[in-house]
Structure 1
Amino acid sequence: MKGKLDITVSIVLYNENIEELTKTVNCFLNISLNKKLYLIDNTPKKKFQNVFKNEEISYIATGKNIGFGAGHNVVINKIKEVSNYHLILNPDVFFKPDVIPSLIKELESKKELAMIAPKVLFPDGKHQYSCRRYPLISELLARRFIFLKPLFKEAIFKGTYRDKDLNKPFFAEYITGCFHLYKTRDFIKLNGFDERYFLYMEDVDICKKIDVLGKKKMYFPSIEITHVLKQGSSKNISLFLRHTSSAIKYFSKWGI
Protein backbone atom coordinates (compact mmCIF):
# COMPACT_ATOMS: atom_id res chain seq x y z
CA MET A 1 0.00 0.00 0.00
CA LYS A 2 1.19 3.51 -0.83
CA GLY A 3 3.03 5.22 1.99
CA LYS A 4 3.45 2.10 4.11
CA LEU A 5 6.65 0.35 5.04
CA ASP A 6 7.07 -3.04 3.41
CA ILE A 7 7.89 -4.65 6.73
CA THR A 8 8.36 -4.01 10.43
CA VAL A 9 10.29 -6.39 12.66
CA SER A 10 10.37 -6.79 16.43
CA ILE A 11 13.05 -8.48 18.53
CA VAL A 12 12.68 -8.80 22.31
CA LEU A 13 15.98 -8.60 24.19
CA TYR A 14 17.13 -9.82 27.58
CA ASN A 15 20.26 -11.94 28.15
CA GLU A 16 21.45 -11.93 24.55
CA ASN A 17 24.78 -12.89 23.05
CA ILE A 18 25.86 -9.62 21.45
CA GLU A 19 27.66 -11.33 18.55
CA GLU A 20 24.58 -13.38 17.66
CA LEU A 21 22.33 -10.35 18.03
CA THR A 22 24.57 -8.22 15.81
CA LYS A 23 24.51 -10.92 13.14
CA THR A 24 20.70 -11.08 13.33
CA VAL A 25 20.38 -7.28 13.08
CA ASN A 26 22.74 -7.22 10.09
CA CYS A 27 20.65 -9.89 8.38
CA PHE A 28 17.71 -7.52 8.70
CA LEU A 29 19.63 -4.46 7.51
CA ASN A 30 20.74 -6.31 4.38
CA ILE A 31 17.14 -6.70 3.16
CA SER A 32 16.30 -4.48 0.18
CA LEU A 33 12.89 -3.36 1.47
CA ASN A 34 11.43 -0.29 3.16
CA LYS A 35 11.66 -1.43 6.74
CA LYS A 36 11.86 -0.67 10.45
CA LEU A 37 13.30 -2.82 13.22
CA TYR A 38 12.07 -2.41 16.79
CA LEU A 39 14.45 -3.59 19.49
CA ILE A 40 12.47 -4.08 22.71
CA ASP A 41 14.86 -4.08 25.67
CA ASN A 42 13.47 -6.00 28.64
CA THR A 43 16.54 -5.41 30.82
CA PRO A 44 16.01 -3.11 33.84
CA LYS A 45 19.30 -1.29 33.17
CA LYS A 46 18.70 -0.67 29.45
CA LYS A 47 21.61 -2.89 28.49
CA PHE A 48 21.13 -2.51 24.74
CA GLN A 49 20.36 1.22 24.60
CA ASN A 50 23.45 2.37 22.74
CA VAL A 51 24.45 -0.80 20.92
CA PHE A 52 22.88 -0.11 17.51
CA LYS A 53 22.68 3.25 15.75
CA ASN A 54 20.75 3.17 12.49
CA GLU A 55 17.80 5.15 11.14
CA GLU A 56 16.01 1.86 10.37
CA ILE A 57 16.26 0.75 14.00
CA SER A 58 14.05 2.01 16.81
CA TYR A 59 15.02 1.21 20.42
CA ILE A 60 12.33 0.74 23.08
CA ALA A 61 13.15 0.22 26.76
CA THR A 62 10.44 -1.40 28.85
CA GLY A 63 12.29 -0.84 32.15
CA LYS A 64 11.73 -4.41 33.33
CA ASN A 65 11.38 -7.94 32.03
CA ILE A 66 7.76 -8.03 30.87
CA GLY A 67 8.15 -11.30 28.98
CA PHE A 68 8.32 -12.43 25.36
CA GLY A 69 4.73 -11.88 24.23
CA ALA A 70 4.18 -8.61 26.08
CA GLY A 71 7.50 -7.37 24.72
CA HIS A 72 6.45 -7.98 21.12
CA ASN A 73 3.03 -6.45 21.83
CA VAL A 74 4.67 -3.14 22.73
CA VAL A 75 4.86 -2.33 19.01
CA ILE A 76 1.23 -3.11 18.12
CA ASN A 77 0.11 0.52 18.11
CA LYS A 78 3.32 1.56 16.36
CA ILE A 79 2.92 -0.78 13.38
CA LYS A 80 -0.82 -0.34 12.94
CA GLU A 81 -1.42 1.33 9.56
CA VAL A 82 2.38 1.59 9.16
CA SER A 83 3.54 -1.69 7.59
CA ASN A 84 2.19 -4.35 5.27
CA TYR A 85 3.99 -7.19 7.03
CA HIS A 86 5.35 -7.75 10.51
CA LEU A 87 8.03 -10.24 11.54
CA ILE A 88 8.37 -11.73 15.01
CA LEU A 89 12.08 -12.54 15.19
CA ASN A 90 14.37 -14.12 17.76
CA PRO A 91 17.75 -12.49 18.47
CA ASP A 92 19.68 -15.60 17.41
CA VAL A 93 18.26 -16.18 13.91
CA PHE A 94 20.28 -15.75 10.71
CA PHE A 95 19.04 -15.59 7.12
CA LYS A 96 19.97 -14.49 3.60
CA PRO A 97 18.67 -11.21 2.09
CA ASP A 98 16.19 -12.96 -0.23
CA VAL A 99 14.44 -14.93 2.55
CA ILE A 100 11.93 -12.30 3.64
CA PRO A 101 11.02 -11.01 0.13
CA SER A 102 10.42 -14.62 -0.99
CA LEU A 103 8.20 -15.35 2.00
CA ILE A 104 6.28 -12.10 1.52
CA LYS A 105 5.52 -13.10 -2.08
CA GLU A 106 4.07 -16.43 -0.94
CA LEU A 107 2.20 -14.91 1.99
CA GLU A 108 0.55 -12.30 -0.21
CA SER A 109 -0.49 -14.84 -2.82
CA LYS A 110 -2.86 -16.65 -0.46
CA LYS A 111 -5.78 -14.77 1.11
CA GLU A 112 -6.33 -17.41 3.76
CA LEU A 113 -2.80 -17.05 5.15
CA ALA A 114 -2.17 -14.92 8.23
CA MET A 115 1.37 -16.16 8.88
CA ILE A 116 4.18 -17.98 7.13
CA ALA A 117 7.44 -19.44 8.38
CA PRO A 118 10.44 -21.10 6.71
CA LYS A 119 12.33 -24.30 7.40
CA VAL A 120 14.54 -23.85 10.47
CA LEU A 121 18.01 -25.35 10.77
CA PHE A 122 20.48 -25.62 13.63
CA PRO A 123 23.89 -24.00 13.02
CA ASP A 124 25.25 -27.46 12.14
CA GLY A 125 22.65 -27.79 9.39
CA LYS A 126 20.37 -30.27 11.15
CA HIS A 127 16.59 -29.84 10.87
CA GLN A 128 14.97 -28.14 13.88
CA TYR A 129 11.42 -29.47 13.25
CA SER A 130 9.79 -26.11 13.91
CA CYS A 131 6.38 -27.01 12.44
CA ARG A 132 4.31 -29.10 14.79
CA ARG A 133 0.91 -30.45 15.65
CA TYR A 134 -0.72 -28.98 18.72
CA PRO A 135 1.00 -30.52 21.74
CA LEU A 136 -0.22 -33.28 23.99
CA ILE A 137 0.63 -33.20 27.70
CA SER A 138 2.50 -36.50 27.31
CA GLU A 139 4.57 -35.05 24.48
CA LEU A 140 5.56 -31.96 26.48
CA LEU A 141 6.58 -34.13 29.43
CA ALA A 142 8.64 -36.40 27.19
CA ARG A 143 10.45 -33.42 25.69
CA ARG A 144 11.50 -32.23 29.15
CA PHE A 145 12.33 -35.60 30.73
CA ILE A 146 14.70 -37.73 28.68
CA PHE A 147 13.74 -40.96 30.46
CA LEU A 148 10.16 -40.56 29.17
CA LYS A 149 11.09 -40.17 25.49
CA PRO A 150 11.12 -43.92 24.71
CA LEU A 151 7.59 -44.20 26.09
CA PHE A 152 6.24 -41.39 23.91
CA LYS A 153 8.45 -41.78 20.85
CA GLU A 154 5.48 -42.06 18.48
CA ALA A 155 3.80 -38.96 19.95
CA ILE A 156 6.97 -36.92 19.45
CA PHE A 157 7.39 -38.33 15.93
CA LYS A 158 3.87 -37.38 14.87
CA GLY A 159 3.92 -34.15 16.88
CA THR A 160 6.78 -32.85 14.75
CA TYR A 161 5.09 -33.93 11.48
CA ARG A 162 7.79 -36.48 10.72
CA ASP A 163 5.06 -38.64 9.22
CA LYS A 164 4.75 -36.02 6.42
CA ASP A 165 7.01 -34.94 3.58
CA LEU A 166 8.66 -31.92 5.20
CA ASN A 167 10.19 -30.81 1.92
CA LYS A 168 6.78 -29.63 0.71
CA PRO A 169 4.80 -26.63 2.02
CA PHE A 170 1.63 -27.25 4.01
CA PHE A 171 -0.71 -25.63 6.53
CA ALA A 172 0.75 -26.54 9.92
CA GLU A 173 -1.16 -26.51 13.21
CA TYR A 174 1.53 -24.48 14.90
CA ILE A 175 5.02 -23.18 14.15
CA THR A 176 7.60 -22.36 16.81
CA GLY A 177 8.02 -18.65 17.40
CA CYS A 178 11.61 -17.85 16.41
CA PHE A 179 10.40 -16.53 13.02
CA HIS A 180 6.75 -15.69 12.37
CA LEU A 181 6.01 -13.50 9.33
CA TYR A 182 2.50 -12.02 9.54
CA LYS A 183 0.32 -9.83 7.43
CA THR A 184 0.32 -6.83 9.76
CA ARG A 185 -3.44 -6.42 9.58
CA ASP A 186 -3.90 -9.99 10.84
CA PHE A 187 -1.37 -9.57 13.65
CA ILE A 188 -3.36 -6.50 14.72
CA LYS A 189 -6.66 -8.43 14.54
CA LEU A 190 -5.12 -11.10 16.76
CA ASN A 191 -4.14 -8.39 19.23
CA GLY A 192 -0.69 -9.95 19.23
CA PHE A 193 0.28 -12.47 21.88
CA ASP A 194 -1.67 -13.44 24.99
CA GLU A 195 0.34 -11.71 27.71
CA ARG A 196 -0.68 -14.22 30.36
CA TYR A 197 2.23 -16.30 29.08
CA PHE A 198 5.44 -14.74 30.38
CA LEU A 199 7.59 -17.16 28.40
CA TYR A 200 6.85 -20.34 26.41
CA MET A 201 3.60 -21.55 24.79
CA GLU A 202 2.69 -18.08 23.52
CA ASP A 203 3.64 -19.20 20.00
CA VAL A 204 1.30 -22.21 20.27
CA ASP A 205 -1.44 -19.97 21.67
CA ILE A 206 -1.25 -17.41 18.87
CA CYS A 207 -1.53 -20.21 16.31
CA LYS A 208 -4.76 -21.28 18.03
CA LYS A 209 -5.92 -17.67 17.80
CA ILE A 210 -5.21 -17.71 14.06
CA ASP A 211 -7.54 -20.72 13.78
CA VAL A 212 -10.25 -18.77 15.60
CA LEU A 213 -9.70 -15.89 13.18
CA GLY A 214 -10.45 -18.30 10.34
CA LYS A 215 -6.97 -17.98 8.86
CA LYS A 216 -4.07 -20.38 8.32
CA LYS A 217 -0.34 -20.74 8.97
CA MET A 218 2.04 -22.09 6.34
CA TYR A 219 5.29 -23.97 6.74
CA PHE A 220 7.37 -23.12 3.65
CA PRO A 221 10.48 -25.35 3.55
CA SER A 222 12.01 -24.19 0.27
CA ILE A 223 13.18 -21.15 2.26
CA GLU A 224 15.64 -21.82 5.09
CA ILE A 225 16.95 -19.92 8.10
CA THR A 226 19.35 -20.78 10.93
CA HIS A 227 18.35 -20.61 14.59
CA VAL A 228 20.83 -21.13 17.43
CA LEU A 229 18.09 -22.27 19.92
CA LYS A 230 19.15 -22.13 23.56
CA GLN A 231 16.55 -24.64 24.93
CA GLY A 232 16.81 -22.91 28.29
CA SER A 233 13.93 -24.70 30.01
CA SER A 234 15.74 -28.04 29.76
CA LYS A 235 18.80 -26.63 31.51
CA ASN A 236 17.47 -24.06 33.99
CA ILE A 237 15.03 -24.88 36.80
CA SER A 238 13.53 -21.37 36.82
CA LEU A 239 12.84 -21.51 33.07
CA PHE A 240 11.49 -25.05 33.47
CA LEU A 241 9.00 -23.81 36.04
CA ARG A 242 7.98 -20.96 33.71
CA HIS A 243 7.46 -23.48 30.91
CA THR A 244 5.34 -25.64 33.22
CA SER A 245 3.28 -22.63 34.29
CA SER A 246 2.69 -21.65 30.66
CA ALA A 247 1.66 -25.19 29.75
CA ILE A 248 -0.91 -25.19 32.56
CA LYS A 249 -2.30 -21.86 31.32
CA TYR A 250 -2.42 -23.14 27.75
CA PHE A 251 -4.34 -26.36 28.52
CA SER A 252 -6.64 -24.49 30.91
CA LYS A 253 -7.48 -22.07 28.10
CA TRP A 254 -7.77 -24.42 25.14
CA GLY A 255 -8.44 -27.82 26.74
CA ILE A 256 -6.47 -31.05 26.62
Structure 2
Amino acid sequence: MGKIKLSIIIVTFNSGRYLKDCLASIEQFCSFLPYEIWISDNNSTDNTIEIAKEFSNVLILQNKENLGFAKANNLAVNQAKGEYVLLLNHDTILLNSLKPAFELIENELNIGAVGIKMLNGEKSYIPSVGRYPKPWQFIKFSSFQEKREAFVTGNFKNPNVSLKVDWITGAFLLTRKEDYQKAGGLDEAYFMYVEDVDFCKRLTLMGKEILFLPSICFVHFVGFNKTREIMLLKGFEIYIEKYFTGVEFAIARTCLNINYAVKKWFKGLR
Protein backbone atom coordinates (compact mmCIF):
# COMPACT_ATOMS: atom_id res chain seq x y z
CA MET A 1 0.00 0.00 0.00
CA GLY A 2 1.21 3.49 -0.84
CA LYS A 3 1.09 6.60 1.24
CA ILE A 4 -2.15 6.88 3.23
CA LYS A 5 -4.54 9.31 1.51
CA LEU A 6 -7.63 8.89 3.67
CA SER A 7 -8.04 8.36 7.40
CA ILE A 8 -11.50 7.14 8.39
CA ILE A 9 -12.32 8.02 11.98
CA ILE A 10 -15.01 6.02 13.80
CA VAL A 11 -15.93 6.77 17.40
CA THR A 12 -17.34 3.74 19.19
CA PHE A 13 -19.12 3.09 22.46
CA ASN A 14 -20.60 -0.40 22.83
CA SER A 15 -20.94 -0.46 19.04
CA GLY A 16 -20.61 -4.18 18.42
CA ARG A 17 -24.13 -4.43 17.01
CA TYR A 18 -23.28 -2.23 14.02
CA LEU A 19 -19.51 -2.11 13.62
CA LYS A 20 -18.91 -5.25 11.53
CA ASP A 21 -21.27 -4.11 8.75
CA CYS A 22 -19.78 -0.61 8.82
CA LEU A 23 -16.20 -1.87 8.47
CA ALA A 24 -17.17 -4.39 5.78
CA SER A 25 -18.73 -1.59 3.72
CA ILE A 26 -15.52 0.44 4.00
CA GLU A 27 -13.53 -2.51 2.67
CA GLN A 28 -15.94 -2.77 -0.25
CA PHE A 29 -16.19 0.89 -1.22
CA CYS A 30 -12.87 2.52 -0.28
CA SER A 31 -10.44 0.20 -2.05
CA PHE A 32 -9.75 2.80 -4.76
CA LEU A 33 -7.18 4.57 -2.55
CA PRO A 34 -4.77 3.83 0.33
CA TYR A 35 -6.69 4.32 3.58
CA GLU A 36 -6.54 3.60 7.27
CA ILE A 37 -9.30 3.29 9.86
CA TRP A 38 -9.00 4.71 13.34
CA ILE A 39 -11.38 3.35 15.95
CA SER A 40 -11.53 5.81 18.86
CA ASP A 41 -13.30 3.71 21.47
CA ASN A 42 -14.96 5.37 24.46
CA ASN A 43 -14.43 2.53 26.93
CA SER A 44 -16.79 -0.05 25.42
CA THR A 45 -17.72 -3.05 27.55
CA ASP A 46 -19.13 -5.21 24.73
CA ASN A 47 -17.35 -6.90 21.80
CA THR A 48 -16.55 -3.68 19.90
CA ILE A 49 -12.76 -4.04 20.15
CA GLU A 50 -12.82 -7.73 19.20
CA ILE A 51 -14.80 -6.94 16.05
CA ALA A 52 -12.48 -4.06 15.13
CA LYS A 53 -9.46 -6.37 15.36
CA GLU A 54 -10.96 -8.69 12.74
CA PHE A 55 -10.38 -6.09 10.01
CA SER A 56 -7.20 -4.94 8.29
CA ASN A 57 -6.09 -1.30 8.17
CA VAL A 58 -7.68 -0.74 11.59
CA LEU A 59 -5.87 1.12 14.35
CA ILE A 60 -7.44 1.38 17.79
CA LEU A 61 -7.40 4.10 20.43
CA GLN A 62 -8.80 2.73 23.69
CA ASN A 63 -9.96 5.69 25.74
CA LYS A 64 -10.27 4.99 29.46
CA GLU A 65 -13.63 6.75 29.72
CA ASN A 66 -16.45 7.99 27.53
CA LEU A 67 -14.90 11.21 26.21
CA GLY A 68 -17.82 12.10 23.97
CA PHE A 69 -17.94 12.40 20.19
CA ALA A 70 -15.87 15.55 19.65
CA LYS A 71 -12.89 14.73 21.86
CA ALA A 72 -12.70 11.10 20.71
CA ASN A 73 -12.63 12.22 17.07
CA ASN A 74 -9.97 14.85 17.75
CA LEU A 75 -7.67 12.35 19.44
CA ALA A 76 -7.81 10.04 16.43
CA VAL A 77 -7.43 12.82 13.85
CA ASN A 78 -4.29 14.01 15.64
CA GLN A 79 -2.72 10.60 15.04
CA ALA A 80 -4.11 10.04 11.56
CA LYS A 81 -1.67 9.84 8.66
CA GLY A 82 -4.11 10.64 5.86
CA GLU A 83 -4.17 13.91 3.95
CA TYR A 84 -7.95 13.64 4.10
CA VAL A 85 -10.18 12.69 7.01
CA LEU A 86 -13.62 11.08 6.99
CA LEU A 87 -15.65 11.24 10.19
CA LEU A 88 -18.02 8.26 10.00
CA ASN A 89 -20.54 7.08 12.57
CA HIS A 90 -20.25 3.51 13.78
CA ASP A 91 -23.91 2.79 12.95
CA THR A 92 -23.56 3.41 9.22
CA ILE A 93 -23.16 1.35 6.06
CA LEU A 94 -21.67 2.78 2.87
CA LEU A 95 -23.69 1.88 -0.24
CA ASN A 96 -21.47 3.27 -3.02
CA SER A 97 -17.86 3.95 -3.83
CA LEU A 98 -16.66 7.15 -2.21
CA LYS A 99 -14.50 7.98 -5.22
CA PRO A 100 -16.73 10.82 -6.58
CA ALA A 101 -16.80 12.53 -3.15
CA PHE A 102 -13.06 12.13 -2.73
CA GLU A 103 -12.33 13.50 -6.21
CA LEU A 104 -14.61 16.45 -5.52
CA ILE A 105 -12.72 17.60 -2.43
CA GLU A 106 -9.31 16.66 -3.86
CA ASN A 107 -9.76 18.83 -6.96
CA GLU A 108 -11.16 21.97 -5.30
CA LEU A 109 -9.13 23.67 -2.56
CA ASN A 110 -12.05 25.94 -1.62
CA ILE A 111 -14.14 22.97 -0.47
CA GLY A 112 -14.06 22.56 3.29
CA ALA A 113 -16.22 19.46 3.67
CA VAL A 114 -18.35 17.06 1.64
CA GLY A 115 -21.45 15.18 2.75
CA ILE A 116 -23.53 12.54 0.97
CA LYS A 117 -27.14 11.31 0.85
CA MET A 118 -28.32 9.67 4.07
CA LEU A 119 -30.89 6.86 4.33
CA ASN A 120 -32.43 5.32 7.42
CA GLY A 121 -32.50 1.63 8.31
CA GLU A 122 -35.42 1.10 5.90
CA LYS A 123 -33.38 2.84 3.18
CA SER A 124 -35.72 5.83 3.06
CA TYR A 125 -34.24 9.29 2.58
CA ILE A 126 -33.62 11.42 5.66
CA PRO A 127 -32.16 14.95 5.65
CA SER A 128 -28.48 15.23 6.54
CA VAL A 129 -27.84 18.93 5.92
CA GLY A 130 -29.23 22.20 7.26
CA ARG A 131 -29.06 25.96 7.43
CA TYR A 132 -27.24 27.92 10.11
CA PRO A 133 -29.79 28.84 12.78
CA LYS A 134 -31.24 32.33 12.99
CA PRO A 135 -31.95 33.56 16.56
CA TRP A 136 -35.74 33.17 16.33
CA GLN A 137 -35.47 29.65 14.87
CA PHE A 138 -34.31 28.06 18.13
CA ILE A 139 -37.94 27.80 19.11
CA LYS A 140 -38.20 24.76 16.81
CA PHE A 141 -35.16 22.75 15.64
CA SER A 142 -36.87 21.59 12.44
CA SER A 143 -36.71 25.20 11.23
CA PHE A 144 -32.94 24.73 10.73
CA GLN A 145 -33.57 22.20 7.97
CA GLU A 146 -32.74 22.94 4.35
CA LYS A 147 -36.03 24.00 2.71
CA ARG A 148 -35.09 23.48 -0.95
CA GLU A 149 -37.49 20.91 -2.40
CA ALA A 150 -34.86 18.32 -3.31
CA PHE A 151 -33.53 18.31 0.25
CA VAL A 152 -37.04 17.86 1.63
CA THR A 153 -38.08 15.04 -0.70
CA GLY A 154 -34.70 13.43 -1.43
CA ASN A 155 -35.40 13.58 -5.16
CA PHE A 156 -32.37 15.25 -6.73
CA LYS A 157 -32.81 15.92 -10.46
CA ASN A 158 -29.11 15.57 -11.22
CA PRO A 159 -27.52 13.61 -8.35
CA ASN A 160 -24.05 13.89 -9.88
CA VAL A 161 -24.06 17.65 -9.34
CA SER A 162 -22.90 18.79 -5.90
CA LEU A 163 -24.93 21.40 -4.03
CA LYS A 164 -23.72 24.10 -1.66
CA VAL A 165 -25.17 23.88 1.86
CA ASP A 166 -24.48 25.46 5.25
CA TRP A 167 -23.70 22.35 7.27
CA ILE A 168 -23.62 18.57 6.92
CA THR A 169 -24.07 15.85 9.50
CA GLY A 170 -21.03 14.55 11.38
CA ALA A 171 -22.29 11.02 10.67
CA PHE A 172 -20.41 11.36 7.34
CA LEU A 173 -18.11 14.33 7.01
CA LEU A 174 -15.21 14.30 4.55
CA THR A 175 -12.60 17.04 4.94
CA ARG A 176 -8.89 17.77 4.64
CA LYS A 177 -6.86 17.07 7.75
CA GLU A 178 -5.19 20.47 7.29
CA ASP A 179 -8.56 22.26 7.29
CA TYR A 180 -9.77 20.19 10.23
CA GLN A 181 -6.81 21.29 12.29
CA LYS A 182 -6.89 24.92 11.09
CA ALA A 183 -10.52 25.11 12.18
CA GLY A 184 -9.51 23.75 15.58
CA GLY A 185 -11.12 20.34 15.15
CA LEU A 186 -14.47 19.58 16.73
CA ASP A 187 -15.20 21.82 19.70
CA GLU A 188 -14.87 19.61 22.76
CA ALA A 189 -17.33 21.76 24.70
CA TYR A 190 -19.96 19.68 22.88
CA PHE A 191 -20.19 16.14 24.25
CA MET A 192 -22.38 14.93 21.41
CA TYR A 193 -24.60 16.69 18.81
CA VAL A 194 -24.31 20.20 17.29
CA GLU A 195 -20.51 19.92 17.05
CA ASP A 196 -20.97 19.22 13.32
CA VAL A 197 -22.97 22.43 12.81
CA ASP A 198 -20.33 24.35 14.76
CA PHE A 199 -17.45 22.78 12.80
CA CYS A 200 -19.01 23.61 9.44
CA LYS A 201 -19.66 27.16 10.68
CA ARG A 202 -15.95 27.59 11.41
CA LEU A 203 -15.01 26.19 7.99
CA THR A 204 -17.42 28.70 6.44
CA LEU A 205 -15.82 31.53 8.42
CA MET A 206 -12.48 30.38 6.95
CA GLY A 207 -13.94 30.98 3.47
CA LYS A 208 -14.53 27.30 2.70
CA GLU A 209 -17.59 25.82 1.00
CA ILE A 210 -19.64 22.91 2.37
CA LEU A 211 -20.92 20.63 -0.41
CA PHE A 212 -23.49 17.85 -0.60
CA LEU A 213 -23.19 15.10 -3.22
CA PRO A 214 -26.45 13.14 -3.61
CA SER A 215 -25.13 10.50 -6.01
CA ILE A 216 -23.51 8.59 -3.10
CA CYS A 217 -25.60 7.09 -0.33
CA PHE A 218 -25.10 5.64 3.11
CA VAL A 219 -27.37 4.06 5.67
CA HIS A 220 -27.47 5.57 9.14
CA PHE A 221 -29.42 3.74 11.82
CA VAL A 222 -30.61 6.93 13.48
CA GLY A 223 -32.20 6.73 16.92
CA PHE A 224 -34.29 9.35 18.70
CA ASN A 225 -34.85 9.47 22.45
CA LYS A 226 -35.11 11.87 25.36
CA THR A 227 -31.34 11.83 25.93
CA ARG A 228 -30.76 13.03 22.36
CA GLU A 229 -33.28 15.85 22.83
CA ILE A 230 -31.56 17.00 26.02
CA MET A 231 -28.12 16.90 24.39
CA LEU A 232 -29.37 18.88 21.40
CA LEU A 233 -30.71 21.55 23.74
CA LYS A 234 -27.40 21.68 25.62
CA GLY A 235 -25.48 21.75 22.35
CA PHE A 236 -27.41 24.69 21.00
CA GLU A 237 -26.90 26.54 24.29
CA ILE A 238 -23.16 26.35 23.56
CA TYR A 239 -23.71 27.36 19.92
CA ILE A 240 -25.71 30.43 20.98
CA GLU A 241 -23.00 31.47 23.45
CA LYS A 242 -20.40 31.27 20.66
CA TYR A 243 -22.13 32.93 17.75
CA PHE A 244 -24.68 35.44 19.04
CA THR A 245 -24.38 38.68 21.02
CA GLY A 246 -26.66 41.46 22.16
CA VAL A 247 -30.27 41.38 21.01
CA GLU A 248 -29.71 38.30 18.84
CA PHE A 249 -28.33 36.43 21.86
CA ALA A 250 -31.35 37.41 23.97
CA ILE A 251 -33.80 36.31 21.25
CA ALA A 252 -31.96 33.03 20.68
CA ARG A 253 -31.86 32.15 24.40
CA THR A 254 -35.53 33.06 24.87
CA CYS A 255 -36.56 30.90 21.92
CA LEU A 256 -34.42 27.99 23.12
CA ASN A 257 -35.98 28.27 26.59
CA ILE A 258 -39.45 28.10 25.02
CA ASN A 259 -38.34 25.06 23.01
CA TYR A 260 -37.15 23.38 26.20
CA ALA A 261 -40.36 24.23 28.07
CA VAL A 262 -42.50 22.73 25.30
CA LYS A 263 -40.41 19.54 25.20
CA LYS A 264 -40.48 19.32 28.99
CA TRP A 265 -44.25 19.53 28.97
CA PHE A 266 -45.00 17.19 26.06
CA LYS A 267 -42.05 14.78 26.19
CA GLY A 268 -41.28 14.74 29.88
CA LEU A 269 -37.72 16.07 29.59
CA ARG A 270 -35.91 16.72 32.85
Match of 1:160 among 145, 158, 167: 145
Output one character per residue of 1:194-224: Cα deviation in whole Å (capped at 9) or x when no partner.
0000111100000111012111110111222
Find the aligned partners of 1:116 and 1:8 in 2 and give their Cα distance: 15
Contact 2:19-2:90 within 8 A present in 1 as well: yes
Does structure 2 retain, via aligned residues, the 8 Å contact 1:115–1:183? yes
Identity of aligned residues (%): 24
Cα distance in 1 between the residues matched to 2:214 and 2:22: 20
Residue 95 of structure 2 contacts residue 216 of structure 2 at CA under 8 Å; is this kept in 1?
A: no
In the alignment, is the contact (CA less than 8 A) between 1:44 and 1:63 conserved in 2? Answer: no
Q: Look up the match of 2:49.
A: 49
Paired with 2:213 and 2:104, the residues of 1 have a C-alpha distance of 9
Q: TM-score, normalization: structure 2?
A: 0.79
Check conservation: 1:122, 1:228, Cα contact below 8 A.
yes
Gaps of 5+ in 2: 249-270
Q: Kindly tell me: are residues 75 and 49 of structure 1, through their superposed partners in 2, closer, same or farther at Cα, counting changes over 3 Å? A: same
Secondary structure, aligned partner of 1:242: helix
Residues 39-188 of structure 1 aligned to structure 2 (within 5 Å): 39-43=39-43, 45=45, 48-53=48-53, 54-79=55-80, 82-98=81-97, 100-136=98-134, 139-143=137-141, 156=143, 159-166=144-151, 167=156, 169-188=162-181
Letter in 1 for 2:39: L
| Structure 1: tracts of 5 or more residues without a match | 144-154
Calculate the TM-score normalised by the size of structure 1: 0.83
| Matches of 1:177 and 1:124, distance apart in 2 | 20
For 2:71, give the aligned amino acid: A
Matched positions, count: 234
Q: CA RMSD in A?
A: 2.2
What code does the residue aligned with 2:230 have?
A: L
CA distance in 1: counterparts of 2:198 and 2:26, whole angstroms: 26
Contact 1:122 1:128 in 2 (8 A): yes
Shift of 1:67: 0.6
CA contact 1:116–1:180 (8 Å) conserved in 2: yes
- CA distance in 2 between partners of 1:39 and 1:245 (Å): 26
Task: Give the partner amino acid of 1:212.
Answer: L
